[in-house]
Structure 1
């Protein structure tokens, strides 16, 4: 029975391709685990939608993945984490992990002056989720947030590799905060790590830039081990990627960013 549970996949969901930044780190840290990924391309981006819409989408996708037999759910989307994490923890009988708490803890560990700047979608900024998480752990921190609504389309439309376009959008989005005294920056959207090097360069490599993929993967490992669900060996892995919408752009990003990943991809309608 335990072996059967162990062999079930980890469910990972996001509004689009951004959650693959978390998958990349999970696969690196947990090479024997199977991933069942859900990319909600047809309804992306989530960041500009109402919290109620995002909550409903997230609950719908979670129920769908549970129906596919996952052993754990990772909400690899900051906006969805802010909107639905607590609801899903109560609703589901499997472990559920979001990306905000791991990112917040990492920022606290890395910051020396206790000043943090969060770059996120409008939905995540409005939720105050990062500020609440960081100050809830250490009230001595000062947290400021900046909505960067142009970043997700930049990634989803595959323009993130165009240095000119990326440079213009990053400058337009961050120019008012270029000289922030925050020594740590959280990339509060799983799409943003694809811009991590450019964002770090924009701040002259003087800031610690945090994305939550590493910490989320580490906590995934801890949770699975605690629940006796960790898969430590087995046959070679082929991951499954479900796309609600057109998968063509998604496949391009996968080939570019995760060329070593063995996967099968399927378009669905939800």
Structure 2
């Protein structure tokens, strides 16, 4: 029987649940240890130094729980702290930015990509650079007309507008993703993107998929919404295949056998466990079991 690998997933709060859900639905032979840093949410106004320190603390905890792969299910951390964390720890890590940028390049039909994200992610310009790198490394639009126009230098493909949305995460963490308040704020944030004529919109924060009904209502059918979580799952699947190959070749030790008691997900938070469980249940529309509080950084 194939041993299930343990994946560590972390975010500033409930947003990473969107990534976790994609993983659970598409990757069967894994278990997940989820950490939501709810005592320090939001991350969108944090400095690079803070996000590196938070990331070190959380990754250390997740490795202690048996995690063999870390998914940084937070765009702010992916955009600023991930390169440092990869140098600091030996476990493979997957962030949100590079997979999300590649996915947007493949999906755009007019070459005008937009981004909504936290202010930290927007300031980092990580997605703009990642779009350019995706094209340089051979990722191309599936739309043949745009692909050929770009290859002949006739049509640019770029991130043309990035919009910071600082109020989105607090709204979602408060369970107000489908409220009239969220709709009004979203209209304000999306106006510059509509004016820029974007045809593809990257959700540059793992909280934002919970707002998709609101975003679709405002943007209409002409703008494709890209959730990087879908691309992250594909990258995770490829990584797990490599780990299995390395294990069979003797280059990697086999993962330890898990306990007899079955579990699929274990939830940990730095803040209020009950609030996380209540909001998570509402957003996922399925029950979250026990949530344990772990205080880091003391």
TM-score normalised by structure 1 residue count: 0.91
Matching residue of 2:233: 217
TM-score normalised by structure 2 residue count: 0.83
Q: Any stretches of 5+ residues in structure 2 without a counterpart? A: 137-155, 248-253
- Structure label with greater radius of gyration: 2
Query: Structure 1: how far apart are the matches of 2:288 and 2:214?
Result: 28
Q: CA deviation at 1:217?
A: 1.2
Partner of 1:94: helix, strand, or coil? coil
- CA shift in 2, pair 1:258/1:204, >3 Å: closer
Matching residue of 2:96: 99
Q: CA deviation at 1:176?
A: 2.8
> Pairwise CA RMSD of aligned residues?
2.1
Matching residue of 1:127: 124
Matching residue of 2:148: none
- Any idea what the Cα deviations from partners look like across 1:150-174, whole Å, max 9, x if unmatched? 1111101111122x11111111222
Q: CA deviation at 1:8?
A: 4.1
Answering whether residue 203 of structure 2 is matched by residue 187 of structure 1, we say: yes
- Aligned partner (choices 269, 272, 275) of residue 249 of structure 1: 275
Matching residue of 2:213: 197
- Residues 1-270 of structure 1 mapped to structure 2, 5 A cutoff: 6-138=3-135, 140-143=156-159, 144-162=161-179, 164-228=180-244, 236-260=262-286, 263-270=289-296
Moved more, 172-181 or 65-74: 172-181
The 8 Å contact of residues 4 and 29 in structure 2, kept in 1 or not, is answered as: no
Query: Structure 1: how far apart are the matches of 2:67 and 2:206?
Result: 21
Query: Structure 2: how far apart are the matches of 1:223 and 1:257?
Result: 29
Query: Structure 2: how far apart are the matches of 1:48 and 1:120?
Result: 11
The 8 Å contact of residues 237 and 262 in structure 1, kept in 2 or not, is answered as: no
The 8 Å contact of residues 12 and 74 in structure 1, kept in 2 or not, is answered as: yes
- Any idea what the Cα deviations from partners look like across 1:21-50, whole Å, max 9, x if unmatched? 000000000133110000000000000111
Query: Structure 1: how far apart are the matches of 2:14 and 2:35?
Result: 9
The 8 Å contact of residues 277 and 288 in structure 2, kept in 1 or not, is answered as: no
